[in-house]
Structure 1
Amino acid sequence: MPVAFVCRTRSAMSPQELFDLSRNIDAHVGFMTKSRERAIAGVTSGLISEGQQVTWQAWHLGVRFRMTSRITRMDAPTSFTDEQVRGPFKYLRHTHEFRPDFGGTLMVDTVEFAAPFGPLGRLVEKLVLARYMQNLIEKRNGFLVSPVPPALDAEP
């Protein structure tokens, strides 16, 4: 059974603006500088769309990894889902929803994942990964709803 959690973040942006920012490869890289994350294959810049994939290379928890994810479902501008195709997890699905909310947007992220390695993986999920992943998504969302970084401000 996978680990699951939900993060809710409010923003003054419109659903369309936040939808596009959330699937912007450059915004993701801008947030993930601490883990030296970069897109190395597939869509490596700009907006990613349904059916497209991206391969990330990064350092998390002191370990270098590569992960390829694909946008498996998209209903612009209300939601999209990305799923791991190859990578460190046994299973990973991240559903992004964008709901109009008092003149802005409520962004709801639902993340489900399972670690490999059977009982040992389940122990790592409970002790480390669940907290680490939720913290990562919460910080990412805070970054996205803060004033737009100058590097992204120039995009059309």
Structure 2
Amino acid sequence: MSKRMNTEGVPREIGYTFPSAEAVLDRSMVVAYLDAVEATHPVYREGNIVPPMAIAALAFRSLAERMSLPPGTIHVSQEFGFHRAASVGDALTTRARISGKRARGKLVLMTVDLEVTNRDGDVVLSGKTTFLLPVDGYDGQPQESDAHR
């Protein structure tokens, strides 16, 4: 049985690994992030260091592009650990894996582990995010996500 997503975009099994995502951190991405959060610190505006939360946003965006969640989903929590700095020009790879899933009445609590590494394989960010998903429409049958057909 393949480990694809069901029609509502909810991955079926604990251990499911999403397709990895690669991105090169360019100056325009950093400036867009700084503008969005209205950050003015010169270490980010004038230097080559990428704000840690910009990397977290990139990781979360990578996950969101690979998993469409059903209506009524609630993003419950997220935790990040930052292990090393990243600079403009760095190539990063984001990986995500379902590490927990349990039913709570008519809801499913699902935890996804995230890891971002640089081109040398060093961990830049690790973390997890948890969603509360409605059970309605979730049949548990794997089907491919529209994002990866």
Normalising by the smaller structure, the TM-score range is 0.3 to 0.5
Higher RCO, Cα 8 Å, sep 6+: 2
TM-score, length basis structure 2: 0.34
Greater strand share, 1 or 2? Answer: 1
Q: Which has the larger radius of gyration?
A: 2
TM-score, length basis structure 1: 0.33
